[in-house]
A and B are shown apart, each in its own frame.
Chain A
Amino acid sequence: MTKNYGKARGVTELDLEVRPGEVFGYLGPNGAGKTTTIRMLVDLIRPQQGTVEVLGGSPRDPAIRRRVGYLPGEVEFYSRMSARDFLTYIGNLRGKGGDALSERLSERLDLDLSRRIGDLSKGNRQKLGLVQALMHGPELVVLDEPTSGLDPLVQQEVYRLLDELKDDGVTVFFSSHVLSEVERVADRVGIIREGRLVEVEELEALRHKAVRTFEVVFEEVPHIAEFEQLDGVRMADVHGAVLHCQVIGSIDQLLKAVAKNRVRDLVSHGADLEALFLDYYRGEED
């Protein structure tokens, strides 16, 4: 689908399928089109080209939206209402309350429902946003930056909640610009940059694509040419008897080449997803 609001906003020819029951992390820098995508999933905005299908139907269908839980990126409430009244109202509009579940969720997140929303801190308002998104037992949960404004302890609790949703077979689509968060909870990630989807991959597969750094200390000075030509090896550099290099993908060839020499020590730094994401963010031109 395509959606443009004018200069440098929106999404272009976005083609993405999220599988039932998976936790899908939607990653991208600010302004990449994450919120635009998400607001189309709940029919707040509509694509200029293409279609959105949610739970086998259109998000224009109220019966479909009832089965979805949604947390906006910048969640706004009626500041004069109490948190509990707000949840009652939203439950009534859905025609599907969730008093017991909302109380339980609020307790877990340590949210006081009797307080006026205007008096809640940003973090507590975010918690309220999460509770309203989850309280009716949705089949699909769409969360725009769910942990924004939450302190680390509550963030961990939210990750646990997402794990539980996954165990219950709920599909989760969430956006983030925080890599560690996506690594922690997602099965699959999509990376969006300047309105275009640049990668959709299993997190595991993505790790394979990530860069590993090796430092090998040999007994004798090796020939750098042995390593430079190997598939996936880059930035090979020999200082005395020490080889530094980076490997993308399989490390098989490098290890075999290393093994032809007498090795004193080998240090490998784990797959650096962050470097990979930064590459995506920056785009091909850099």
Chain B
Amino acid sequence: MLSNVALKTLRDRRRSLFWWVVGIFGYLLGIGAFYPIVRDNQGQFEALLETYPDEFLAIMGVGSEENLFDPIGFMQAEAFGWVVPLVFAIYGTVQGARAVAGEEEDGTIDLVMATSLTRLGLVWQKWLALVLAELVLGGAVFAALAVDSVLFGVEIPVGNIAAGVLMAVLLGVFFGSLALAVGTGTGLRGLTVGVVTFVAAGAYLLNSLGGLVEILDALQPISPFYYYDASNPLRYGLDVEHALVLGGLAVVFLGVGLLAVRGRDLGVGGIRLAVPTIRKASG
């Protein structure tokens, strides 16, 4: 695990990744355990849902789902509509921001980059670690759904689970790569997390409300969340085009990160924001 930057990064993240895995696995198991109750009391739940405004349901990720009471609709509404993509996106953002900017702020970049490691090698191996960590999270989701199927009858075709998980991984890699690019360009971890979180929150709202607000409808395709679930992979399987959009943009962000690191000074806090001087008005 100490032979290169990618494995070393995964090694460093193993404890936190473990808890992320426990968290998402536990959540999906809990949700799965709840499924038989929902299925057996469909009428009551339908009446309850009638009372919620469409906007609320949209933000909770269940706006477009036609059947909320079959296993796929239930999982889409309770997990894949919001918790799963947000978990993958947040994890990606945090890891992407830590990747290079974190090492710069911690000061560990000095010893690492004084070896014969190249700057490009550092960035792409950090990216590789991000992808691998997201895949581990994806594996946890896949395993949880398999257990849900056996224990609680939440039966979803394996191919569709794989498609849903892959899209979540790609979404996480998308935001992770964006954070990697911003962090590598600026060397500032906090700023990076802030910027990417802002973008992610805006993109999430845009996609969720896009179906309800006419003006936003046309803008939905600029949200990565649109590519994540517009094709409803859990129900209809993988939409290759949408997967390529997310994966392709992630690679583009990696490219931006690789370019950004080439000419930069490392470990000096990247861009300097000009702080305007406030002068007292005379008289």
Interface residues of A (CB under 8 A from B): 5-6, 39, 42-46, 62-63, 65-66, 68, 70, 72, 74-78, 80, 85, 88-90, 92-96, 129, 132
Contacts and interface: CB of A to CB of B under 8 A. Distances in A.
Contacts of A89: 2, 8
Contacts of A129: 111
Contacts of A90: 111-112, 115
A80 B272 CA distance: 31
Contacts of B117: 62, 93
B61 interface: no
B272 A6 contact: yes
Nearest to A64: B116
Contact of A72 (B4, B107, B268): B107
Nearest to A87: B2
Nearest to B121: A62
Contacts of B217: none
Contacts of B116: 62-63, 65-66, 93-96
B2 A45 contact: no
Nearest to B110: A72
Contacts of A75: 107, 110-111
A26 B176 CA distance: 42
Contact of B266 (A45, A62, A63, A92): A45
B41 interface: no
B265 A92 contact: no
B189 to A, nearest CB: 14
Given A70-B111, A77-B108, 7 more contacts: A46-B265, A63-B116, A65-B114, A65-B116, A76-B106, A77-B111, A93-B112
B114 to A, nearest CB: 4
21 contacts: A5-B268, A39-B110, A39-B267, A42-B114, A44-B265, A44-B266, A62-B115, A62-B116, A62-B118, A65-B115, A65-B116, A66-B115, A66-B116, A68-B114, A72-B114, A76-B107, A76-B108, A76-B111, A90-B111, A129-B111, A132-B111
Contacts of B114: 42, 44, 65, 68, 70, 72
Interface in B250-277: 263, 265-268, 272
Interface in B1-15: 2-5, 8, 12
A42 B4 CA distance: 20
A129 B118 CA distance: 21
Contacts of B213: none
Contacts of A63: 116
B109 interface: yes
Contacts of A66: 115-116
B110 A76 contact: yes
B113 interface: yes
Nearest to A70: B114
A92 B108 contact: no
Contacts of B107: 72, 74-76
A76 B108 CA distance: 5
B170 to A, nearest CB: 30
The 10 nearest A-B residue pairs measured at CB: A76-B107, A62-B116, A93-B115, A45-B265, A66-B116, A70-B114, A72-B110, A42-B114, A89-B2, A94-B115
Nearest to A61: B116
Q: Which residue among A44, A66, A85 has the maximum number of chain B CB atoms within 10 Å of its CB? A: A44
Given A74-B107, A76-B107, A92 B2 contact: yes
Contact of B113 (A42, A80, A85, A88): A42
